[in-house]
């Protein structure tokens, strides 16, 4: 079974977080949500989420994919957490998948993962970082090797389906889309 980590920071975008969690679980992956602290996560629109565990408890676990939901100030909390940066770099060195949506690619940039890569994010997020070697795209979803990025809440379902296809194949993605009356 494929294993996915979704770190949940205070102020994350709930639509992105829930869509990723829900669709990846529907596809049969083991999704672990990990809060940066032990508190319930109060999302950007005040929805309250309770993470499965804390980040500290899963730092040494192996995952097939780490997927970062965006939102503000959630994406800034991810970017500013040294554990997240170290985890992303370690995962990247193991040649595993890393995904980020909305403003969360900020954390990828801080971890040095966007150098010489093509990526997308919420409009203006990557442009404001003055990334010299990053090819910034305005596509809904962008994949460059093991790095997958997306624009925002409106692209969350397509993003989650793309991650399912990446991890489990087209048939699994189509099955989830059908369950959701997407196709």
Q: What is the pLDDT of residue 47?
A: 98
Is 38 a catalytic site residue? no
Burial 118-157 (b: 16+ CB within 10 A, else e): bbbbbeebbeebebeebebbeeebbbbebbbbbbbbebbb
Number of structural domains (the chain) is: 1
pLDDT tens-digit series, residues 157-171: 999 999 999 999 999
Which of 12, 38, 43, 102 does the annotation list as catalytic?
102
Q: Determine the structural domain holding residue 108 and report its residue range.
A: 3-179
* CATH number of 105's domain: 3.40.50.880
> What is the mean predicted confidence (pLDDT) over 117-144?
97
Chain segment 82-125, per-residue pLDDT in tens? 999 999 999 999 999 999 999 999 999 999 999 999 999 999 99
The answer to whether residue 130 scores a pLDDT higher than 70 is: yes
At 9-56, the pLDDT tens digits run 999 999 999 999 999 999 999 999 999 999 999 999 999 999 999 999
Predicted pLDDT at 154: 97
What pTM does this model have? 0.97
pLDDT of residue 183: 66
């Amino acid at each position: 079974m494929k294993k996915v980590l979704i770190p949940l920071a205070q102020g994350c975008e709930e639509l992105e977080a829930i869509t990723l969690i829900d669709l990846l679980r529907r596809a049969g992956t083991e999704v672990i949500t990990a809060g940066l602290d032990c508190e319930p996560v109060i999302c950007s629109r005040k929805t309250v989420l309770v993470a499965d565990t804390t980040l500290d408890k899963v730092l040494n676990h192996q995952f097939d994919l780490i997927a970062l939901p965006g939102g503000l100030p959630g994406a800034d909390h991810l970017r500013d957490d040294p554990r997240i940066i170290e985890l992303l770099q370690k995962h990247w060195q193991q040649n595993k998948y890393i995904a980020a949506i909305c403003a969360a690619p900020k954390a990828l940039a801080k971890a040095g993962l966007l150098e010489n890569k093509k990526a997308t994010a919420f409009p203006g997020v990557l442009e404001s970082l003055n990334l010299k070697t990053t090819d910034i795209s305005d596509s809904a979803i962008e994949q460059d090797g093991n790095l997958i990025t997306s624009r925002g809440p409106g692209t969350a379902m397509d993003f989650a389906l793309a991650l399912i296809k990446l991890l489990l194949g087209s048939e699994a993605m189509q099955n989830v889309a059908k369950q959701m009356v997407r196709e």
